[in-house]
């Protein structure tokens, strides 16, 4: 008998991104698609434990693995400039360039 997948609530993506928030968003996306953990792990070509760790927001994971999961689901991350920390403001504007 197939397992029933319960859709989890969509997290507030207006908050600053951290691993737990990203994991919650990935979980919401997976459950919205009706995929089990096993199916999602197979789709992303990672182990079930690794996939579960990403959804749980574990901080010690391989960034390549995280991007493999994001790409498999078509989730894109965007870098946006926010308010500059005081130290950068005092040093002058770096025009949002990488240092």
Transcribe 23-56 into DSSP letters. HHHHHHHHHHTT--HHHHHHHHTS-HHHHHHHHT
Select the more confidently predicted residue: 57 or 82: 57
**pLDDT value of position 34:** 96
Give the Cα separation of 55 and 50 in Å (integer). Answer: 9
Classify domain 19-91 at the CATH superfamily level: lambda repressor-like DNA-binding domains (1.10.260.40)
Q: How far does Cα 93 stand from its chain's mean position? A: 30
| CB 92 within 8 Å of CB 77 | no
Structure tokens at 46: 């990672």
Average pLDDT over residues 18-25: 95
Domain residue extents for the chain: 19-91
3-class DSSP state of 40? helix
3-class DSSP state of 83? coil
Residue 99 has pLDDT above 50, yes or no: no
Q: What is the pTM of this model?
A: 0.77
Residue 24 has pLDDT above 70, yes or no: yes
């Amino acid at each position: 008998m197939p397992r029933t997948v319960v859709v989890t609530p969509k997290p507030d993506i207006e908050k600053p991104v951290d691993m737990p928030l990203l994991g919650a968003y990935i979980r919401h996306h997976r459950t919205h698609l009706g995929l089990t953990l096993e199916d999602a792990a197979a789709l992303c070509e990672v182990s079930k434990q690794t996939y579960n760790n990403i959804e749980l927001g574990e901080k010690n994971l391989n960034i390549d693995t995280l991007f493999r999961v994001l790409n498999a689901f078509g989730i894109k991350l965007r870098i946006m400039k926010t308010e500059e920390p005081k130290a950068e403001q005092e040093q002058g504007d770096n025009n949002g360039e990488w240092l």
